[in-house]
Amino acid sequence: MFKEAQAIPGVGFGLTDEQKMIQQLARDFAHNEIAPVAEHYDKTHEYPWPVVRKAQELGLTVMAVPEEYGGLGLSMFEEVLVAEQLGWGCTGISTTMSANGLGYLPIKVAGSEDQKATYGERLADGELCAYCVTEPEAGSNVAGIRTTARKQGDYYVLNGSKTFITNATNANFYTVFAYTDQAAKHKGISCFIVERDWEGVSVGQPFDKMGQHASDTAEVIFDNVKVPESYLVGAEGQGFLIAMKVFDNSRPTVAAAAVGLGQRAVDEAVRYAKERSTFGKQLWQHQVIGHMIADMGMEVEAARLLTWKSAWALDSTGANTMEAAYAKAYAADTAMKVATQAVQVFGGYGYMSEYPVEKLMRDAKIFQIYEGTSQIQREIMVREIFRKRK
């Protein structure tokens, strides 16, 4: 749909009426359903089931699922529009919602039609899933995983553990990456669908995190789990490629959520700078504060445009590795910087948990870490820049 809004091929900033409606739906949901309860879930660390259920009714947890399977079937650009608005409300709650799409992505990019239909419909019916790649010894280095899946007859025996898994304790099924041939190195990684209730699957207690407390994050352990061969996603040895394709799809939405957090930080700083007066002036009228907020707004807008470009590239060409790395790194770094500046604008009050910018600063840090650290994004940039100049 986004390509229809282009006045010049490859360039354009207008939204179609349908995209404006989708964006407004997400904005209303963020303002009315997420923001009012964000502080509660941040303090209690409870899983935000009431918000998730409302989001499911609107299809906001199945944006990536094709329409024929009960999802919204949104383009990547449309997902980005939604992700920014939800991130504005609370990135802990929005991460909980978006994890469903992340868990489904391996099935979407490489699964059989039966797998796409079965699990897409289950998600549309209210189930949850989780994406299992990260391990205690392997984060950004996917090839460093140690989980194995040994073929035995018509099933695989899965052993290993995954950590920092979003939605781990509430997911009904997982998409899991494991070695089926360790000698082949990264070409020996495969992807599987694993049901939560299978014998040998267990989940640890949720981690106590710095931020995004509404997001359920825990360890998942696989102890001699028998996985029927029909639950293999794609072919053996395609797991690494699948994971890379997932990153190209997931990083624009992660970047968009970071943009949403950054925009919230700007909005809160503007509001406070208009309400607070010092030395006979409103805070923003002091040039040092006004310029700080101007820089915040400029950097968030730049992050937004990089994010839009990364989504547009995937929708229009099917390839966005470089654009996704640019967007994810810049948006993540901007979210952290802008949230920190918002705390500075608030002064001592910004350090207090009763004011929203304290939470924004805690929530922002993870964007520089998950879905590939900011340092890994720069490694991708270097690789792509020099690959294109051979």
Q: Which residues are catalytic?
A: 371
The token pair that represents 22 in the structure block: 């989708």
- 217 Cβ contact partners less than 8 Å away, ≥ 6 residues apart: 164, 165, 166, 168, 206, 207, 209
Q: How many whole angstroms separate alpha carbon 306 and alpha carbon 184?
A: 36
| Contact (CB, 8 A) for 33 and 49 | no
| Contact (CB, 8 A) for 127 and 69 | no
| Contact (CB, 8 A) for 343 and 365 | no
Q: How many whole angstroms separate alpha carbon 272 and alpha carbon 343?
A: 11
Segment 149-152 long-range contacts (CB within 8 Å, at least 24 positions apart): 149/178, 149/179, 149/180, 149/190, 149/192, 149/227, 150/180, 151/180, 151/229
The token pair that represents 287 in the structure block: 């040039």
Which amino acid belongs to residue 313?
A
The token pair that represents 278 in the structure block: 């010092």
The token pair that represents 301 in the structure block: 């807008």
Angle at 290 between CA 285 and CA 292, to 5 degrees: 155
Sign, Cα dihedral of 322, 323, 328, 334: positive
Beta strands 232-233 and 189-195, pairing class: antiparallel
The DSSP symbol for 102 reads: H
Q: How many whole angstroms separate alpha carbon 262 and alpha carbon 269?
A: 11
| Contact (CB, 8 A) for 353 and 213 | no
